[in-house]
Amino acid sequence: MNRLKPLLICIILFFLSNTLVYADFNGKVVKVIDGDTVDILTIKKQKIRVRLLDIDAPESKQAYGNASRKYLASLIAAKNVFVKESKKDIYERSLGTIFLNEVNINEKMVENGYAWAYRYKGVANNKLMVKLEKIAKQNKKGLWKDKHPIAPWNYRHNKR
């Protein structure tokens, strides 16, 4: 049992540290970088870059990139929002879901055709986002007005 004690303590500390690192927060959107990234100033005057979870918007120089950024700005620029933070990405951005008056902004971006459901190695984990994307595509909303829109992951791959 004495040998297991340090291991047990390490496991407990690991789980505690993971729950303490990510926290939901309120703040004001001070900059819309692109269709899936914003800067938010918290109540404590901390600027946090947030990448919208489960969506992938067109790149800035890509077709619909500017339209995507403008649409996101029309929804939340200079507004107070709530962020449900999930984790950090490799660039140390917060990955989270943004809410404005209980409206899920991440879903709005996909629902209105300004972003795709995020896919990792070709697989989307958020089934609701996939459904919203499919409906937006059927209704030719936003980027789906284009007959052959290029997914951002393909655009990034082709730019390498």
Q: Which residues are catalytic?
A: 51, 59, 93
**Cα separation, 137 vs 121, whole angstroms:** 21
**Cα separation, 133 vs 136, whole angstroms:** 5
Tell me the C-alpha to C-alpha distance, in Å, between residue 69 and each of 96, 110, 121, 133.
Answer: 17, 13, 25, 17
**Cα separation, 54 vs 17, whole angstroms:** 24
